[in-house]
Structure 1
Amino acid sequence: MTSDAASEETSLAQLEARYLRSEAIMVAVLNSISAHIAVLDQTGTIIAVNEGWKHFASAQSGDSEAETYVGENYLTVLAQARGDDAAEAPLAHAGITRVLRGEIPSYSLEYPCFTPDEQLWFLMQVTPLQHPDGGVVVAHIDITTRKHEELRKDLFISLASHELKTPLTSLRLLAQLVLRRSAKAGYTDLVPQLETLGAQTETLARIVNELMDVSRLNSDQSALLRTIFDIKETVNEVINHWEAEAADHHFRVAEAPACQVHGDRDRIHQVLMQLLGNAATFSPPESSVEVGIVCNAEEVLVSVRDEGIGIDPSHHEQIFEPFYQVAEFREKRPGMGMGLYLARQIVQRHGGRIWVKSARDAGATFTFTLPLAG
């Protein structure tokens, strides 16, 4: 063997050793993550799982040799899922499919998991696999502790809001009665103060109602009453309301065909009320608020665009979180920051998505999706 050949062989051996070491490190990293992780190829077939995935499968079945589904199509597994754990399987299937197709950059879903001993909660996160052949990484993260804390918080909110509702109703009626009698008796100097009292009472009532709504949604006490309805008719109803409430704005619906969706009409009405109300509140008088409706093969996209003060991109994700408010907006719309959180919860329970595109001083466009009927 010549010295050149020996040197080349040594180099190849070193490269192979480095490759094997790098591969071993990647496997070790994957196995060090507590989340249950599966790697899917572009068809949805599971090509690799970590130790967390294997351990959970074993714990679920009580069999150390439990099926990990490596080599099987995860989308098929989800499509065939049955039982208590299968309620969110269609949503998981749709989310993974959309990420695989490149239609969305990522997907998240919270779901319950019923073991023989307890109910667990997981957050499924789907992200694209950074590989020329495509695919996705699916991670299931245990959020049981967080959900238990949320349930305790929701119980407190439910009890507190119910205790506040009865005296608040009495206060609202009393404020209205005193205002009418003061105006009739000619006590005009009291009218502005009483009107302020009435307005603040209405704000407090709205906050309490939002808290009760959040409690019902989070505790699954408010089941969706799904029907088939024309989304454009619902949009027109909401626009009619806001044309009377915010007459100094110009509301319109972009040209769109009738579009039948499958969902809870009242809840979608609630989402639209929130989005159009925000658009009117945070945009100047005489500006336009436009609602767009686009139907494609699988879903409808509803957008609400305004010409208002806009939202800095740094807030785009947080504004859908509970109790989050952009500090500079608080004076314009007092509250607890629950409106957009409720909107997101309602849309997600329909299997849809909601997001915002905006920049400071450039208006905002809120868009959400709903499944088509059929």
Structure 2
Amino acid sequence: MILIVDDTPENLISLKKVLEKNNFEVDTASSGEEALKKVLKNSYVLIILDVQMPDMDGFEVAEAISGYSKAKETAIIFLSAANTELKFIAKGYSSGGLDYITKPLDMNILLLKVKTFYRIYEQSRKLKEMQETLLAEIEFRKEAERKKDEFISIASHELKTPLTSVKGYVQLLERSVIKGDTATVKKHLEKAQIQLEKLNSLIADLLDISKIESGKLKLNKQEFSIDYLLDNVLEIMHQSNPTFKIIKRGKANCNIFADEMRIEQVIVNFLTNAIKYSPGTEEILITVNVKDEQVYVAVKDSGIGMLPEQLEHVFDKFYRVEETSQRFQGLGIGLYISSEIIRRHGGEIGVNSEYGQGSEFYFIMPINLKTEATTN
């Protein structure tokens, strides 16, 4: 928009008509004070400013405008009928003007100048947008690089821990075998097996991430009982975590058409997270029901819970919820993988949580989404 500032009404009207006829949006002010008020409220690409005005001349108006952060980049063209000497023209430029035109006006020349300023403005605006986009992309590369480095560091640590443990148990096994201590051999084998399962789980998650990124995560769908699946999962979880009581509430009483192994993976992830992030507690609630041809499964704990800013990112790749007083193991990809699995089943995944009051992770998905048996 263009602002014309002139204390002579006929000058305002005639110039406004010419500019509007050439498809420019125009605003007017009949004094310097009125112009300054409008500049504070509105954004202008160009200000056409008369020099000879009472109370506040054009030079003073321009100097005041240059002090406004909002308008300091606005182009100003001075118009003058009396002050045509070189010293006044120089003052116009020093006051912040980009051009100084003497009256009587040649409207064709003025229009050419206005169009030129508009073209420069558009080019500058586009260049600024490109710079902002480029800076945003650079920041996104930097953030991606930081996350990659952090993930490599975490992955190295998490993979090294079970490997080191297995190595230690193998050394202990060797000594126990030499001594013929069968009971100790069995104990060390069981502990080594647990560490190997952890290692296997970490590697499986890394492979799943790779499949998701390359679009090769396959779903082998078939009908199965969600209740039977849950009962099996709870039995396995109880064996590996005997101190935790997992209470099942509700029943689906139906078969669902989905990838049984992947749905089990999501439920196991919910349960292991509930146990991991609930130190000092001993009970977890799992709820299942069916409504409107959709199955609902939720796992609720009484653990540390999450802050609102953590809830926003909990399903992001590589995001890990950390408590200041303790460090939890994991790569920060389990919930991301779970969200991708549920999304590819046409479902919805979510979480309800309050800091210090525990969390409830859930998913909802169609029970009978008949698609291809194998889906990429």
**TM-score under structure 1 normalisation?**
0.50
**TM-score under structure 2 normalisation?**
0.50
Structure showing greater radius of gyration is 2
